[in-house]
Amino acid sequence: MSNCYVIFYSSDNYSSQSKRFDDPIEVPDASDYYYDTDSDKKLSDSIDSLKTGSQGWLTVFSKENYKGGLAKFYPNDNTPKLDDIYRFDSNDKGIGDTIESFILYDSCPNYFDIDDPVMTGQTWVKLYGDENYAGSGCNNYLHGAGNIPDNYFINLDSSKSVAMFFGVKSIITGPRTWLEIYNALDYGGDKTCIGPGLFIEDFDLFSSSSKRYSIKVYDSEPSGWVNSYEEPSIVIEMMQYSTTSKIESVVNDLIGMIPEVGDVIDTLMDILWPLGPDGSEVWHDLQYYIASVTQELMDEIAIKDLNNRLAGIHNLLTYIQQLNPSEDRLNDMKNLHDTIINERSNFLGGNNRTFPETQIAYQVAFSTIDLFTGWALAYKYEELRGEPCPADNEQVYISALDGDVAMYTRIILGDGTDEYPGSVEAAVAWRISPEMIYNQGDAVYDAYNGFVYSGVTVEEARNQVAEEYRKKLNLYIAPVELYQYLSSENISQGIRPVPVVEQFTTSMGDPNAQGASGTSQDDLNGNTITGVEIYTDSANQYVVGIQFFYSAQASGVHGQTTSTSVRADFEEGEFIVGFYGRSGSWLDQLFIRTNTGRDFGVGGPGGKPFYVATPQGVDAVLMSIEVNTCYSSYLSALILNFDIHTYE
């Protein structure tokens, strides 16, 4: 028999008549079934106790067709008296004899653990009852994909038994999450479409309707998807750094810095397109990075066109990957390389690139693929054809690769001339232009992010922004600094990159907050973070303490402990990629995101928002963590100090 089952009993303590259901099933009307031991007694007449199997998740409803209130039962749930369970529509006890429909699942539905704020994986949704990721009793956390036709499935009070109005005010979606919210039951009425990795502080700005009655959550982009939001999300630099890290791994493989695994194409495919062209991590990150960082969306048609072109490249590489070394495999790689050359103008220039940042995003990734195919022809000819490359042809391929390396290095890094200032410097010039940073009354206004600088001149503000912005974009183009090691001169001499260690500091909160009461620091000494616990006050309005757990030992508690906290213990290979929250005079709110998609935190809606990413693509090593407190009761700032590696 299946481990996914439910057994209903007509009396308390699993007695009298019984009815067993095996395997996942949806029963819209329990009156259609009779007890096994009494063919005259309808199931809906009396259900007073039940048991579920070790792989059975059960939702029961007070009305037919999965309507009305509900109650949820987990695997191995033995309930001898259903009258001890709260009713669906009040705080009175007694759900016995009120079950009219039910659904039995063989895996946990995404609406079951709605009170668990620690999100894991790539697909999840955080729904808050108030703006700014806060709520006073109406927060819901959906874990995984799934459809919810009726808001009664989720919005429950603290007893998890009384359904309430679906009053979503702010939303956060996971890295691989597509969310549709409908203003009518059963996916009717108007819908609002929200894509991956978005932080929506006030959902009313994105939806014309205040009614939210049913939702769908996807783990891949649905066909015909169109985002509902007109403005981009906050700059999500963690996507940028994640993309950098993956692309840098490809280049390191090409120059022999890491051992090759399998076929020549395997590394490229596994890193850039691990889930195929529709669910690819890197191209997905690029699209939403572009949408977020430029303050206005690239034309939707242009994005889909570029992604379709990339999907075509992916399909050709997949086909070549499956072939044995042969003349056909070689010719297919040649044709692919020619195709990529013809695509250069689409990805590296043209009218679609409104801002320099969008150009950088596609330059880095596309140039890596371009150089990869040229490198394969120049140095992996025998793996493609099965025979050594003729000397004359080999030199042609090597010379072509040398030319492409020089071209991309000149375009992206620059050569010190006005003609080729480099993509970063072009972007910096745009970022601090008079259209972006200018005087507004007695202050300096930054149109890029809406910040207002007080007590500084326009020139001082521009210099400050330029320094920070240049460092951010230099991290993004880090793989390009490795391109030179693909040149024949460096390859023939076995020259490898020489890393140069630099310091990189990122902070959140106010290090100079009033009422400062102390600073504490953890020196990691080569250890890695294996877990974090964050403490909040009883009303969940402020961050009052934090403790890091390291591979060697736990730190002391920074701030204070309370009875209200959230803790996450990391899996092997899991690390922090970003922080976000709100702060004013202290940290009102702090959330942490890891590379696996885990997301957790505490705090309330006060202060102003911040979003901070940790560098990933430059062999970043976290050296120390500083925590500032104020008024002896709150955390005011969190400062992370990294060593990062660039190359001579």
Which CATH number covers residue 9?
A: 2.60.20.10
pLDDT, residue 424, reads 84
pTM, full prediction: 0.69
Written as one string, the DSSP assignment of 516-548 is: EEEEEEEE-TT--EEEEEEEE-TTS-SEEEEEE
Tokens found for residue 227: 């985002």
Judging by beta carbons within 10 Å of its beta carbon (0-12, 13-18, 19+), is residue 416 exposed, middle or buried? exposed
The conformation of residue 640, written as its DSSP 8-state character, comes to: E
Task: Report the greatest alpha carbon distance in the chain.
Answer: 91
pLDDT band at 164 (very low <50, low <70, confident <90, very high): very low
The better pLDDT of the pair 85, 603 is held by: 603
The better pLDDT of the pair 632, 352 is held by: 632
Tokens found for residue 445: 């206004």
**% of the chain surpassing 90 pLDDT:** 26
The better pLDDT of the pair 360, 521 is held by: 521
Query: How does pLDDT run across 266-322, given as a tens digit for each residue?
Result: 777 776 776 666 656 666 666 555 554 444 445 556 666 777 787 888 888 888 888
Q: 463, 492, 521: which is the final residue of a domain?
A: 492
In 447-528, alpha helices (H): 458-476, 488-492
The answer to whether position 561 is within a domain reads yes
Computed over every residue of the chain, the mean pLDDT equals 81
Beta-carbon contacts of 632 under 8 Å, excluding residues fewer than 6 positions away, are 517, 518
Find out whether 257 and 274 touch, Cβ atoms under 8 Å: no
Angle formed at CA 417 by CA 415 and CA 418, multiple of 5 degrees: 135
pLDDT, residue 490, reads 85
Residue linked to tokens 């993004």:
476
Number of structural domains found in the chain: 4
The answer to whether position 438 is within a domain reads no
Tokens found for residue 318: 């997949």
171 forms bridges with which residues in the sheet?
127, 200
Residue linked to tokens 């202060």:
607
The better pLDDT of the pair 203, 57 is held by: 57
Residues 392-412, mean pLDDT to the nearest whole number: 92
pLDDT, residue 230, reads 46
Phi, psi (deg, nearest 5) at residue 26: -115, 125
pLDDT, residue 612, reads 75
Q: Is 559 found in the same domain as 476?
A: no
Q: Is 633 found in the same domain as 558?
A: yes
Q: 183, 218, 253: which is the final residue of a domain?
A: 218
Parent domain of 349 = 244-416+472-492
Q: Is 405 found in the same domain as 263?
A: yes
327-336, 349-358, 420-429, 483-492: range with lowest mean pLDDT: 349-358
pLDDT band at 564 (very low <50, low <70, confident <90, very high): very high
- Angstrom distance (rounded) from CA 135 to CA 158: 12
Dihedral (Cα; 457, 458, 460, 464), 10-degree rounding: 140
Find out whether 163 and 70 touch, Cβ atoms under 8 Å: yes
pLDDT band at 496 (very low <50, low <70, confident <90, very high): confident
Judging by beta carbons within 10 Å of its beta carbon (0-12, 13-18, 19+), is residue 289 exposed, middle or buried? buried
- Angstrom distance (rounded) from CA 627 to CA 640: 9
Helix axes 327-348, 300-321, angle to 10 degrees: 160
Q: Is 476 found in the same domain as 505?
A: no
Query: How does pLDDT run across 15-59, given as a tens digit for each residue?
Result: 888 999 999 999 999 999 999 877 778 898 889 999 999 999 999
The better pLDDT of the pair 497, 392 is held by: 392
The letter for the amino acid at 475 is L
Residues 88-103, mean pLDDT to the nearest whole number: 75
Tokens found for residue 56: 């059975």
Q: Nearest to residue 475, comparing CAs of 257, 179, 143, 242?
A: 242
The letter for the amino acid at 45 is D
- Angstrom distance (rounded) from CA 32 to CA 270: 51
The better pLDDT of the pair 518, 450 is held by: 518
Tokens found for residue 53: 């199997």
pLDDT, residue 299, reads 58
Residue 382: in which H helix or E strand, if any?
helix 381-385
The answer to whether position 539 is within a domain reads yes
Residue 537: in which H helix or E strand, if any?
none
- Angstrom distance (rounded) from CA 124 to CA 173: 6
Residues 506-523, mean pLDDT to the nearest whole number: 79
pLDDT, residue 192, reads 87
Please determine, for residue 158, whether its predicted confidence score (pLDDT) is greater than 60: no
Q: Nearest to residue 199, comparing CAs of 229, 173, 162, 161?
A: 173
Phi, psi (deg, nearest 5) at residue 579: -130, 145
pLDDT band at 411 (very low <50, low <70, confident <90, very high): confident
Please determine, for residue 629, whether its predicted confidence score (pLDDT) is greater than 70: yes
CATH of the domain at 408: 1.20.190.10
Residue linked to tokens 């001579």:
648
pLDDT, residue 165, reads 44
- Angstrom distance (rounded) from CA 478 to CA 250: 12
pLDDT, residue 159, reads 44
Query: How does pLDDT run across 210-243, given as a tens digit for each residue?
Result: 667 789 999 988 888 887 764 433 334 555 566 6
Tokens found for residue 196: 């991956």
pLDDT, residue 39, reads 76
Residue linked to tokens 């750094």:
241
Q: Nearest to residue 107, comparing CAs of 146, 66, 141, 68?
A: 146
The answer to whether position 278 is within a domain reads yes
The answer to whether position 445 is within a domain reads no
- Angstrom distance (rounded) from CA 545 to CA 563: 11
- Angstrom distance (rounded) from CA 548 to CA 553: 9
Judging by beta carbons within 10 Å of its beta carbon (0-12, 13-18, 19+), is residue 377 exposed, middle or buried? buried
Q: Is 305 found in the same domain as 386?
A: yes
Q: Is 377 found in the same domain as 302?
A: yes
How many whole angstroms from its chain centre is CA 551? Answer: 25
348-357, 389-398, 533-542: range with lowest mean pLDDT: 348-357
Q: Is 630 found in the same domain as 522?
A: yes
Residue linked to tokens 């303590």:
13
In 386-508, alpha helices (H): 391-413, 423-431, 458-476, 488-492
The answer to whether position 367 is within a domain reads yes
Q: Is 392 found in the same domain as 327?
A: yes
pLDDT band at 77 (very low <50, low <70, confident <90, very high): very high
Residue linked to tokens 């490898």:
496
Tokens found for residue 113: 């653990």
pLDDT, residue 162, reads 41
The better pLDDT of the pair 94, 308 is held by: 308
258-267, 398-407, 601-610: range with lowest mean pLDDT: 258-267
Q: Is 100 found in the same domain as 69?
A: yes
Phi, psi (deg, nearest 5) at residue 501: -85, 130
134-143, 174-183, 258-267, 424-433: range with lowest mean pLDDT: 258-267
- The three-state DSSP-derived secondary structure of 572-590 is CCCCEEEEEEEECCCEEEE
Find out whether 118 and 598 touch, Cβ atoms under 8 Å: yes
Q: Is 54 found in the same domain as 192?
A: no
Q: Is 133 found in the same domain as 49?
A: no
The answer to whether position 232 is within a domain reads no
Q: Is 364 found in the same domain as 332?
A: yes
The better pLDDT of the pair 288, 476 is held by: 476
639 forms bridges with which residues in the sheet?
507, 626
Tokens found for residue 229: 């939001």
- Angstrom distance (rounded) from CA 326 to CA 323: 8
How many whole angstroms from its chain centre is CA 546? Answer: 23
Q: 492, 520, 540: which is the final residue of a domain?
A: 492
Query: How does pLDDT run across 566-594, given as a tens digit for each residue?
Result: 999 999 888 887 888 888 888 999 999 88
pLDDT band at 358 (very low <50, low <70, confident <90, very high): low
The answer to whether position 576 is within a domain reads yes
Query: How does pLDDT run across 121-156, given as a tens digit for each residue?
Result: 889 999 888 888 886 556 788 999 999 887 777 754
Coil, helix or strand at residue 91: coil
The better pLDDT of the pair 227, 337 is held by: 337
